[in-house]
Amino acid sequence: MPTFELPLRLDTTIRPYDWGSVTAMPELFGTEPTGRPQAELWMGAHPADPSIAGGVPLDRLIAGDPVAALGSPAVERFGPALPYLLKVLAVARPLSLQVHPTIAQAEAGFAAEEARGVPIGDPARTYKDRSHKPEMVCAITPFHGLCGFRSPVVTAGLLARLGLPALQPWIDVLAVRPAGEALRTVFAQMLDDAAAPLRAEVERALAGGSDPELAPYAEIAAACPGDPGVVAALLLNHVDLLPGQALYLGAGVPHAYLGGVGVEIMASSDNVLRCGLTTKHVDAPELMRVVDFTPAEPHLVEPERPARGERRYVPPAPEFALTRYDLTGADAFELPAGPPRIVLCLEGEARLGELTLRPGESAFVPAVAGTGLSGKGVAYVAEPGAFTV
């Protein structure tokens, strides 16, 4: 059994979802391509795919001594489980258009499906656990996606530029009615089967257009022809992230990642309600209950810079924060005992005492351990966020 007194090297899994890049992770980590998409590198203790530490799944290891692994404050706040999940994403084509529930919605939805006897592994099951799933992605390469509803008045003008008379009823609703009501009405109608002929017209107009503001949506239409989410995507903000920029996504915010490589961190949950751009189950009534129809700009997280070579991203979610360390070979950073951390080496070499990590490798630093971080390269450190440890 591994000791909690030292950092523990993690054996991790890369998930081969069809939206993943075949080449991005091999290029980033200096590994051989497998010929299959490599979409998500998981680091954490999520029961669906826990990392392995010393031959033991990390969730089981933590369960053996939660206080030593996580620290008393984290156990008291989040229970005897690692509260976050760290990933590297390599996005080559659009992910599903999706939203995540609040804690209250997740608890109620999970209880309802348990009462109905819906198996956890059933593809038609919506709630896999009782947790919310806020998340943040920090761009490694240029990264882009959809995030939150644009002002409906602005969207009305965007739809008008498609030049389709059949869109006028939606344009009128978006231009005149109160924002939340307008977005709810048009969003529901866009996803309805009755709108299939109009959705096909929109796809043809996108394919034949040259408007640069519509170009991201034309790319979505080319990647997901015939999907109801193609037209619904037109209601959402398109956001471009430069390397080092971070985007936070809270409960109810519709979103989809479209392309790029990033480090993602989230509450350790698997609760996803899909709206479109997917062949998976769409629970339309529950989706409409969970979506937040308030228009808002994308929530960019500005990093704190507590020391040279250190950028700390603290979103409004207590379960997680993420810090990037640019290691020069000269200075070492102290990671004192207290919170449970996962350290990922992204470039070069990162040293945690006697443990050396290379690109794509990671380690779990238990709460009781603490360690120095040195080397020459780039490392990301995940830990719980804005609560006292």
Which positions are catalytic? 274
CA distances from 186 to 206, 228, 231, 283 (A): 19, 13, 10, 18
The amino acid at 53:
A
- The b-or-e profile of 231-251 (16+ CB within 10 A means b, else e) is bbbbbbbbbebeeebbbbbbb
In this structure, is the dihedral angle defined by the CA atoms of residues 127, 128, 130 and 132, taken in order, positive or negative? negative
Tokens, residue 296: 């808002």
Helix (H) or strand (E) holding 42: strand 40-44
Both structure tokens of 292: 């937040």
**Contact 239/297 with Cβ under 8 angstroms?**
no
Nearest to 19 by CA among 40, 1, 4: 40
Q: What angle do CA 103, 105, 48 make, to 5 degrees?
A: 65
Quote the CA–CA distance of 291 and 300 in Å, as a whole number: 20
Q: Which residues contact 187 (CB under 8 A, 6 or more apart)?
A: 232, 235, 291, 293
Nearest to 134, CA basis, from 258, 290, 250, 268:
250
Residue 11 pairs in a beta bridge with 52
Q: Tell me which residue of 115, 129, 96 sits closest to 281, measured CA to CA.
A: 96
DSSP string, 4-30: TTS-EEEE-EEE--TTBBSSHHHHHHT
- As beta bridge partners, residue 365 has 341
Element holding 255 (H helix, E strand): strand 255-267
Backbone φ and ψ for 75, nearest 5 degrees, come out as -65, -40
